C-alpha cells in the first residue's frame, strides 16, 4: 500500500480564520482526508511536540503554515516544521505578508505592553505585573515564549516554497493548492497560488468606470450609501482593488464593501501600500492648493488603510529582507 502524503497544518500568530477556511471546504474535506494523512492540525486534533520532532527531515510532504511570526515559539515551530517538510506553504495574508497583526509594527513592544497590561481602560492590574520570559515556581523554572519587538512574515524567518494569500484564502484556491500537491503538478518554487492580475481584471464594476476618474471628495464606506454598480474609486471611496491580487471572487465587492487588500500586491509590486498611494493621489482633483490639502487631510489613517495586511513585508516596514516573491 502506498503511503498517503503527510500534511501538517499549523498556526503561528494566527486567528484560526485560515483553519476555518479549510473547514469551509465542506464535503470536499472528506476527499482531502482520503488523499492525505494529516499529521498535525492543532485546531482539530491533539498533538505533542515530540511527535513532530521525532519525524525524519523531509518526512512531511507539505506544511501549511498560517499566521505571522511574533514570538519565539512561532519561530521555533516554523523552523521545526521547515526542517521536517519537503514543501512549506505560507497560508493566508499573515504568513505571506504579515497580515493585520503586522500593524503592530507601528508601535514598539513597550507601547504595546504598557497598553495591554496597564493603560487600557478595562485593565485591572494594580501591581503592574507584566509577563516575563522566565519565572521561578517551587524551585522550578517556568518559561514563556519571548514576545518579539517586530512582526515578521513567514519568509523572513524560513524558506517558503509557495504562497496562498487572502484573509482568509478562499476554499476553491485551497482545494486547487492541495490538489496540485497531491498530483505533483506544481508551479515553480516561490509562486503564489492565485491569479496574477490585480482585482480590477475580474471586478464587474470595472467596465462601467468613467474613462476619466476624478476624486473631488473622499468618502468613507460607512458614511455613504454606495451604489452597488459603480466603481468605488470613481465615487471617491478608497478601494484597494487596483493594487490587490485577484482570486478572492470579489466577495467583499459583491456585498458592496470596497476591497481591503487582503490578497496583497500583484506580482511585480514589492509594496502595495506606496504604489496604491501614487495611484490614489493621481486621481485627486481640486481647484486650489488648500482644497487639495483638505481632501488629503480627510483620509483617515492612510498608513493603517494602505498597509492593513502588508506592513511587515513593505519597504519601510520590513526588518529583514524577505525572499523574493515571484515576478
Partner 1 sequence: MWQSIHKGSVSVEPAIRQFLPPCQVQCPINEDIQRTNVLISLLPDDLELARDGILQIGDYLYEKNPLFTVCGYVCGLCELECNYLAKGGAIRRRLLKRFISDTYTYHLNQKEEFNLVKHKENVAVVGGGPGGLMCAYDLSKRGYRVTIFEASDRLGGALWLIPQYRLPEKVLTSAIDSLVRITGIDVKYNAHVGEGKLTLEKLVNEGYKAIFIAKGTPAPRILTFGREKVEDQSLSGVMYGTTFLYEVSHGEIKPNYFRGKKVLVIGGGNVAFDVARSARRLGGETTILCLECEDRSSKDRIPADWEEIRGAWEEGIRILYSRGVSKVIGESERMKKIECPRCISVSDTTGFNPQFDLSDTITVEGDILIVTVGQGPDRATLQADNLLDEKGSLALDPLTLQSLNKEWIFIGGDLRRIGFMADAMRDGLTAAESIERFLGGLDMKEGRKREYEAQDIPRRAHYLSEPEVMWIPPEKRMHFQLFERGFTLLEAIEEAQRCLTCGPCVSCKACLSIGIQESLSNVEVNKDRCCGCGICVSVCNYDAAQSKEIETKRISTTDMFKCKSCGMCVVACPSNARKLVGDNMEKKIEAVYASL
Partner 2 sequence: MEKYSPKLVCFSCKFGWGYLSDEPALASRITNWIPVICSGKIDTSHILKAFRAGADGVLILGCSEGHCHYQDGNIQTEKKVLLLQKVLETFGIEPERLKIRFSVDAEGKSIPLLINTMEKKLVKLGPIKRL
Interface contacts to partner 2, rule CB under 8 A: 106, 108, 270-271, 273-275, 277-278, 280-282, 284, 289, 292-293, 296, 299, 301-304, 306-307, 314-317
**Shortest distance (Å) from residue 289 CB to partner 2:** 8
The mark string for 223-252 relative to partner 1 (x by CB under 8 A, - otherwise) is ------------------xxx--x------
The torsion of the CA quartet 212, 207, 172, 75, rounded to 10 degrees, works out to 0
Query: Binding residue for partner 1 (CB under 8 A) from 199, 238, 262, 325?
Result: 199
Cβ at position 316, least distance to partner 2 in Å: 5
Cβ proximity to partner 2: between 110 and 127 the closer is 110
Q: Cα torsion for 285, 289, 294, 300, to the nearest 10°?
A: 70
Binding mask 257-296 for partner 1 (x = CB under 8 A): ---------xxxx--x--xx-xx--xx-x-x---------
Question: For residue 319, how many other CB atoms are within 10 A of its CB?
Answer: 13
CA distance 193 to 165: 8
Instruction: Give how far Cα 75 sits from Cα of 61, 95, 115, 147, 237, Å.
Output: 20, 12, 25, 11, 39
Rounded Cα distance between 187 and 196, Å, is: 13
Residue 93: name the closest of 157, 153, 150 by CA.
153
User: Residue 317 touches which of partner 2, partner 1, none (CB < 5 to 8 A by kind)?
Assistant: partner 2
What cell was used for 138?
A: 517551587
Q: In angstroms, rounded to a whole number, what is the distance separating the alpha carbons of residues 169 and 232? A: 23
x/- contact string, 134-153, with partner 1 (CB under 8 A)? --------------------
- In this chain, which of 48, 129, 207, 324 binds partner 1, going by CB under 8 A? 207
* CB distance 261 to 272 below 8 Å: yes
**Residue numbers at the binding site for partner 1 (CB under 8 A):** 196-201, 206-207, 209, 211-214, 241-243, 246, 266-269, 272, 275-276, 278-279, 282-283, 285, 287
Amino acid at each position: 500500500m502506498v503511503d498517503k502524503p503527510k500534511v501538517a497544518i499549523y498556526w503561528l500568530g494566527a486567528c484560526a480564520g485560515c483553519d476555518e477556511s479549510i473547514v469551509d471546504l465542506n464535503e470536499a474535506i472528506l476527499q482531502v482526508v482520503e488523499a492525505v494523512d494529516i499529521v498535525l492540525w492543532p485546531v482539530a486534533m491533539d498533538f505533542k511536540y515530540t511527535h513532530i520532532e521525532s519525524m525524519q527531515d523531509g518526512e512531511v510532504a507539505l506544511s501549511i503554515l498560517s499566521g505571522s511570526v511574533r514570538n519565539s515559539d512561532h519561530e521555533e515551530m516554523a523552523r521545526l516544521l521547515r526542517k521536517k517538510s519537503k514543501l512549506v506553504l505560507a497560508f493566508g495574508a499573515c504568513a505571506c505578508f504579515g497580515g493585520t497583526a503586522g500593524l503592530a509594527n507601528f508601535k514598539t513592544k513597550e507601547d504595546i505592553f504598557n497598553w495591554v497590561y496597564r493603560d487600557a481602560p478595562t485593565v485591572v492590574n494594580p501591581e503592574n505585573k507584566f509577563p516575563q520570559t522566565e519565572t521561578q515556581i517551587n524551585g522550578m523554572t517556568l518559561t514563556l515564549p519571548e514576545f518579539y519587538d517586530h512582526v515578521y512574515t513567514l519568509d523572513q524567518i524560513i524558506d517558503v516554497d509557495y504562497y496562498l494569500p487572502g484573509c482568509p484564502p478562499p476554499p476553491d484556491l485551497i482545494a486547487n493548492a492541495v490538489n496540485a500537491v497531491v498530483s505533483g503538478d506544481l508551479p515553480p518554487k516561490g509562486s503564489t497560488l492565485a491569479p496574477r492580475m490585480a482585482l480590477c481584471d475580474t471586478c464587474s464594476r470595472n467596465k462601467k468606470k468613467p474613462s476619466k476618474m476624478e476624486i473631488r471628495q473622499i468618502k468613507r464606506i460607512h458614511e455613504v450609501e454606495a451604489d452597488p454598480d459603480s466603481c468605488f474609486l470613481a465615487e471617491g471611496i478608497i478601494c484597494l482593488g487596483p493594487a490587490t491580487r485577484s482570486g478572492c471572487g470579489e466577495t467583499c465587492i459583491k456585498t458592496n464593501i470596497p476591497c481591503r487588500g487582503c490578497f496583497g500586491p500583484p506580482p511585480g509590486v514589492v509594496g502595495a501600500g506606496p504604489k496604491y498611494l501614487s495611484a490614489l493621489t493621481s486621481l485627486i482633483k481640486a481647484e486650489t492648493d488648500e482644497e487639495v490639502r483638505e481632501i488629503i487631510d480627510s483620509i483617515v489613517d492612510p498608513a493603517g488603510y494602505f498597509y492593513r495586511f502588508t506592513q511587515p513585508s513593505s519597504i519601510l516596514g520590513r526588518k529583514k529582507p524577505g525572499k523574493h516573491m515571484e515576478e
